[in-house]
Structure 1
Amino acid sequence: MRRTSKVYAGLAAITVAVISVIMAVGAAPAGAAVGGSGPYPADYETSASLANHTIFRPQTLPSERLPIVVWGNGGCSANGLSQGNFLREIASHGFLAIANGAPNGSGSTNAQMLTQSIDWAVAENSRQGSKYYNRLDTSRVAVAGFSCGGLEAYAVSNDPRVTTTVIFSSGLLNDADDYQLRRLTKPIAYFVGGPSDIAYPNAMDDWGKLPAGLPAFMGNLNVGHGGTYDQPNGGEFGRVAVLYLTWRLKGDTSAGANFVGADCGLCRSQWTVQQKNLTLDGGAPPTTPPPTTPPPTTPPPTDPPTTPPPGGAACTAVYSVQDQWNGGFVATVAVTAGTTALTGWRVTLTLPGGASVSSLWNGVASGTSGTITVANQSYNGRLTAGQATSFGFQGTGNGGGTTATCTGS
C-alpha cells in the first residue's frame, strides 16, 4: 500500500502560493539573464505556436543537434520560470529544454502540455524557415519533472518518442496508478532529497515496483523536498541532471560513469546511490558482479504462522529482495490479512549477521539489526480479510536469508 501524504498532496497549492507572492513583489524571474555553466550560454523564449510554455535554449545554437528535454514544474505551476536556473543550466550544455507554463504564468499545468512540447519540437525541426530546422535531435527525448511535475512526467513516459524518464522528488500517490510503472520500457532515473524529502516514501515505493530488467538509477541527496533548483546553475541537482542527460541523450559514457557500477562518480560523493540493470553504452558491465547466489524474488517465510496467535488475528508476511548491490540492498515485505480483518499488524524480521536497516518506509521499526519488529503506520494498519499492504526498507550488507513472521490484532 502506498503512502499518500496529505502534506505532499498539498504541496502543489503551497508551491503555487509562494510563486504568486514572489511575482506580486516584482522579483526578477530566475531565467531572465543569459547564463549557465555549459559551453553555450542559454536564455529563454516563447513561441506563438506553443502557447503557455517556456523554451530554454542556447542563445547561439551550436552546430550539434540539440536533444530535447520536456519539463513539468514543481506544484504543477504554470510559471515556466519556476525552475529557471536549473533549466537554463541544462540548456547551456547543448539541450533544448521546454517547461510547462509561460514565463511568470499563473494557474496549473497538466501532463498533456508535455506531449505538446514534444509535438512542437518535432514539428519545428522539420519546418523550413524555423530556427530549429534540422537543429534538434528528435530521436533523443527526455521527459522530466519535479514533485507534481514528476507525476506529469510519469503520465506521458509511455510516449514512443521518449528516450528516458527523470523523476525529481516525486512518486505516484496511489496504488491505482501503478500501471504507469508497469508500462515503463525505457531507462528511468530518480533524484530525491533524501529521507527528509516528503516525496521519499512514494519514490522508494515506485523504485521497488519497477519492471524487472528496467535500467534504473536512484540518487538521494539529503537536502529535503526543495532540492537545489534555485541555486546558481541549479546547484547539485543541476549538475547531476546535466550528467545524466549527457549520458542518456548524447551517449557520453564518461558522464555515464557517474551512475554505473560500485565505483560510480556519485557513489563516491554525498549522494546515496542505488542501481538496477545499468550498463554503459556498448554493454560494459558494472564493476560489481551480482551476488553469487542471488536471493529468490519472493522467498516464502521460513515459519509462516498457521494458526492465529493468542489474542490476535492471522496474517502472513512475505519478504523479498528488490535490489542487491555490493554492501547494500532494498527489500519489501508484503503483509496480507487472513480470514479475519485486522486493525493492526506487527512483523518480526530476523536479519542475517552483518545486515542492518538504514531507512524504512510505510512502517514503524524497533531496532536496526538482528531481530527487529516493524509495526503498521496509522494509514495502513486496517486490513479487510485477505487484503494486503506492504512496507520496504534499505539496508546494509546482504539481504538474502532474512525471515519474516506476522501477527495481527
Structure 2
Amino acid sequence: MRLSAGLAAAVVSLAAGLIAVGATPADAAVGGSGPYPADYETSATLPNHTIYRPQTLPSERLPVFVWGNGGCAANGTGQINFLREISSHGFLVIASGAPNGSGSTTSQMLTQSIDWAVAENSRQGGKYYGRLDVTQVAAGGWSCGGLEAYAVSGDPRVTTTTIFSSGLLNDADDYQLRRLTKPIAYFIGGPGDIAYPNAIDDWGKLPSGLPAFMGNLNVGHGGTYDQVNGGEFGRVAVLWLKWRLKGDRTAGTAFAGADCGLCHSQWQVQQKNLILDGGTSPSTPPVPPSGSPSTSPSSDHGSGCSAVYTVQDQWNGGFVASVSVTAGSTALTSWRVSLGLPAGASVTSLWNGVASGSSGTVTVTNQSYNGRLAAGQGTTFGFQGTGTGGGATVTCTGG
C-alpha cells in the first residue's frame, strides 16, 4: 500500500532531520577512492547547484549524473561523501542546491543541470568543452530527491534512473512508471526504510521488459551517504553508473545474472530483464580543440558547416540520436540542418535545436544560444524518435 499523506510528510521530515544530523559528515578519503580525486565547485551560469568533478579532468569524457537531495533540501553538499566518491570514478556530478544552501529544490533543477552540462560541453574555450559525454546521463535522488529523479526520467537525454530510498506516494503518479523506457535501479534501506513499501509497489508496476534492479540493504531510510566515501550505497552506485554509462561489463556483474556479485552478499536482490551485455559503449576520447568531427561528415561547404549523425540508443520501437554541427572555415551566426529520416521513423522530442516537421525530411535550426559558432567550433543537438534510427542522412547549411 502507498504511504498516507501523513507518512509522506514524515519521509520529508525524517530525511531533512537526517541531513541536519549529517551536516558534518565523517571525513572521506581525499577526493574519494577513485582514480580521479574529486571536489566540488559552483558556476555563475548554474546558480543554486553544486558541481562535483575530478580535480584534474581525465582524457576520457565524463558521463553526467544529476542528483536530488534527501528532503528536497537545497544543500548541494548534504551528501558530499557519496557524491564526491562517484565523481572520483570519472563522472561529472551535479547536485541541486548551493554548497551548504538552504530552502527547497524542484525537479526542474535536475533538468537545468542537464541543460548546463550539454551547453558547457559545446562552449568553446570552457574547461568542459568536448570533455563531457552528454549522451550518457543518469538521474538519481534520495527520498524526496528520488521523486524528483522520477519526474525527469522521461527526459530523452536520461539513459538510466537511480532511486534511493524512495517511491511514488500515490497511485495517481503511476504514469511516471509507465513511461519508463531506460534501465532503472532501486537502492533501498530494507523493510525498516519508511520508503520500502512504496518502492516495492513501484517495482511491481514497472513496464514489462524494462531492465531493472532492486537492492535492499538493512540500514533504514538514512542510507550510508555520510559514511567514508558514501559507504555501501556509494560503492554500488559507482558500479551501476560504470556499467550503465561507461559500458563496464565487470561492474555489471554485480547486478546481472543469478550469480551476480550482490546476489550473495548483505544485499537482498531482485532483478528484471538484466543482461550483462546491456551496457553502453565506452566513451570516446574528447573532441579535439578544433571541434572537427572525427567520424563521417555528411557535408562541408567551406564557409558553411558540416554535420554528423549518430544513433546513441535503439530499443524496440524507439531511439535516441544526436547530430554534431561544426562550422567550416568561417564563423557562423546561424545554422540549419536538413535531417532525412528513414521510412517509419519520426521525431517525438528534440533539444538544443528548433524542429520543423517530425517525419520524412525534418529541418532543424539553432536555438538562440548555440547559433553563433567560431570557425571550427561545434555544437550538438539531439532528439528522441519512434521507429528505427539507422540510415538517416544530414546536411548542414550555415548563415
2:81–2:227 contact (8 Å) kept in structure 1: yes
Q: Residue 213 of structure 1: which of 209, 214, 232 is its match?
A: 209
**What's the counterpart of residue 177 of structure 2?**
181
Write the distance in 1 (CA, Å) between the matches of 2:194 and 2:211.
Answer: 25
Give the gaps of 5 or more residues in structure 1. Answer: 284-409
Work out the CA distance in 2 between the residues paired with 1:81 and 1:30.
Answer: 13
State the Cα distance separating 1:280 from its structure 2 match. Answer: 1.2
Describe the shift of the 1:33–1:100 C-alpha distance in structure 2 as closer, same or farther (beyond 3 A): farther
Offset at residue 281 of structure 1 (A): 1.7
Residue 12 (structure 2) aligns with:
12
Q: Any unmatched runs of 5+ in structure 2?
A: 280-399
Contact map agreement 1:188 1:215 (CA 8 A) in 2 = yes
What is the correspondence of 1:299-314 to structure 2 with a 5 Å cutoff?
none
Deviations 1:97-144 (A, max 9, x none): 000000000010000000000000000000011110000000000000
Q: Could you state the TM-score of these two structures normalised by the residue count of structure 1?
A: 0.66
Residue 43 of structure 2 is aligned with which of 28, 42, 47? 47
Residues 1:136 and 2:132 are matched in the alignment: yes
CA contact (8 A) 1:31 1:43 kept: no
CA 1:90–1:178: 2 relative to 1, 3 Å: same
Contact 2:253–2:260 (8 Å) recurs in 1: yes
SS at match of 1:281: helix
Runs of 4+ in 1 over 6 A off after TM superposition: 29-33
- Structure 1 Cα separation of the partners of residues 245 and 19 of structure 2: 31
> Equivalent of 1:36, from 32, 36, 46?
32
Letter in 2 for 1:262: A
CA distance in 1, matches of 2:117, 2:198: 32
Structure with larger RCO (C-alpha < 8 A, sep 6+): 2
The number of residues matched between the two structures is 279
1:316-363 C-alpha deviation (Å, 9 max, x unpaired): xxxxxxxxxxxxxxxxxxxxxxxxxxxxxxxxxxxxxxxxxxxxxxxx
Match of 2:219 in 1: 223
Which residue matches 1:150?
A: 146
Q: Is 2:165–2:196's contact at 8 Å kept on the other side of the alignment?
A: yes
Deviation at 1:8, TM superposition (A): 4.0
State the alpha-carbon separation in 2 of the partners of residues 188 and 237 from structure 1.
15
TM-score (ref. length: structure 2): 0.67
Q: How far did 1:3 drift?
A: 3.1
TM-aligned CA deviation for residue 32 of structure 1: 9.6
Corresponding residue for residue 392 of structure 2: none
SS at match of 1:78: coil
**8 A Cα contact 1:8 1:198, kept in partner:** no
Q: How far did 1:15 drift? A: 3.5
2:302 alignment partner in structure 1: none
For 2:64 and 2:99, locate their aligned partners in 1 and report how far apart those are by CA, in whole Å: 19
Describe the shift of the 1:18–1:212 C-alpha distance in structure 2 as closer, same or farther (beyond 3 A): closer
Structure whose CA Rg is larger: 1
Rounded to whole Å, the distance in 1 between the matches of 2:102 and 2:154 is: 28
Does 2:277 correspond to 1:281?
yes
> How large is the RMSD of aligned CA atoms in angstroms?
1.8
